[in-house]
Structure 1
Amino acid sequence: MYTKKINQFNLGPDLLFGVGAISHVPEIINREGFKRVMIVCDEGIEKAQILDQVLEVIRESNVQCTCNVFSNVEANPTTDTIEAGMHVLRSFQPDLLIGLGGGSPIDVAKALGMLATNGGLITDYEGIDRFSNEPIPLLAIPTTAGTGSEVTVFTVITDPVTEYKLTVGGSKLAPKWAIIDPSLTITLPSKLTAATGLDALVHAIESYTSTMSHALTETLALDAIRIISSNLRQAVFNGENISARSKMLYGSLIAGIAFNNTRLGNVHAMSHPLSAMYNVPHGVANSVLLPHIMEFNLPAAPEKFLDIAKAMGEHIDPNQSIMANAYKAIEAVKQLSNDIHIPKDFSEYKIRESDIVPMAEDAMKSGNIAVNPRKTTIGDIISLYKKSIGSTSFETVSIED
């Protein structure tokens, strides 16, 4: 368990977790003396009246602050969205940002806060620690159990011109506070509950198998796998099951803390080009890719996949080989995906054969490839894309590794 390797561990923001935690928003505003609060969300949050809940909590507390709302955030937010948000931010001049919603609004809030104090365009900051000034303080309030963005130091934004998803990261980018209230996830539709929940499972599995993992991250990731796999079905098929909703948020949270310290793997490297070029929802992209990449990675880390199988409740037969038992992790993921009606492939998105190589080239630019448990070539990525596409038939693509 203990090695000579030096491991860094980022614990993330101050956390408030539990039903009713949303009531503590005014406490943070008062304690820190904030006067101008900009809330970043999407139209779904408005329609579900979650935005109204937050605004009402602030109004009823008699907090002496002014609030403004930027709600034009879409799934897979783009550089255009960031520019529109910056126009609102410059006019309003907030001293606190609140990212309210799934990963997209929280990621946009991170980007806006960083650009407000560092200037330039979001495309100027691709990579890690490319900015120096502290962003505007951010309070993250997740309404999905999936992305873990409330505790991570990354924001992912799509450039529609280049059809490329860029990642900006840095220790200063993490939210200062996160309020995690399971009651805010009750109205999340079952389809989104399924996709975001499996996204959280991907985070846990990729963190656990990452070459950067260590004892602390592995403990969190394995616990997240256990919690998510044993509660996702219940959350999907009975959204009002507050116990399942709470456990899913907790599983997503600790998976986020884990991968914040380890990065991820091939699933995320490959999902970003699919989202950038075909607008495949991030959770769906990850969910469809996961079993294919687990099968690819298993020979490089069979002991870890055996642990995953155990965490997902699979029976481990002492009379079978480690490989046979480890493969049960893949079967468990396939069964879970099938049970909650995740698509088996990307056939509905009509992926063009001509885009496979460009997507693979973009995937290879991701830092997640470097920490994947099995060494990966561009030829491997092309093959994995083809396996996940679906009914489209492809000619053989020849490319040097």
Structure 2
Amino acid sequence: MTVTQAKPLTQKRPVFPFSAIVGQEEMKLALILNVIDPKIGGVMIMGDRGTGKSTTIRALANLLPEIQIVADDPFSSDPVDADLQSDEVRQRLAQGEQLPIAAKQVLMVDLPLGATEDRVCGTIDIEKALTEGVKAFEPGLLAKANRGILYIDEVNLLDDHLVDVLLDSAASGWNTVEREGISIRHPARFVLVGSGNPEEGELRPQLLDRFGMHAEIRTVKEPELRVKIVEQRTEFDREPHEFIDHYQTEQVDLQKKIVTAQENLNAVGIPHELRLHISQVCAQLDVDGLRGDIVTNRAAKALAAFEGKSEVDVDEIKRVITLCLRHRLRKDPLESIDSGYKVQKVFAEVFGLAEAE
């Protein structure tokens, strides 16, 4: 997801400010890192009901600055970046056409639990294609979510085949629809966010492994904090615009920080020794494949960029490694996901730290 220059935030409808959200640090960090580098591969948020999952995700989408799009393109193609353009837009540019440009708020697209594959991927009008000789394509939710955030609540209750389709699109950045020998593809680059309650069942390990990060959220136990959350929500519901204005400075500062991190991400380095240690942790934890190594490296670099650093150090790795690896340790679908103790223990051993805090 590429964003334009940060600018003051304007409100079309009241959305709870991201910077006002109390607690749930794991979830907030994972979401911010995925926005900075969508190639991390999305985040799975598991935890109790009523803990502000959808509120937080909607707040993040609202926080981000507007993106530049080709105004008459159904896939929100980028006018400049070829990697974020549909085949039709590339063709029009190659023919020297002047494209109309508009600005658009980053979208958060909700995927309903009962959605069909056609609703998600889009449909081809075969009759029109055969009679008129044109590729008549009706875009689906993946087209709408391009360059935005796709949110699936209760993803663990979604059909495995549909989850597979979503993860394939998120990983490749493209959605391909084929019907009766006719094939259409379009860009589908989005931050995939899934959430669910462990009581209702976990995703199969093979699917869970394909989410870049796994955040755990729990109901806040401290009475003082619970009171603060209730008071904030009451104040927002009573006078939403006043509440939003109160956090405007923090919102703009956070927005600028994210934009700067996106711009500087490719310049962030990670020393060979630290990359070696990350892979050593993955090997000792018996993590299948190399996805864990890759995601941990990406997340650590995104966090370093967010903190304004030009090089990753041990602290960034420590903060992201549990989020990147805890859901990759299960070999048996009946096992529960490690809360983080096992990952932090091995991390401390490999990196030569006295103990994991």
TM-score normalized with structure 1 length: 0.27
Relative CO higher for 1 or 2, CA cutoff 8 Å, sep ≥ 6? 2
TM-score normalized with structure 2 length: 0.29
Structure (1 or 2) with the greater helix fraction:
1
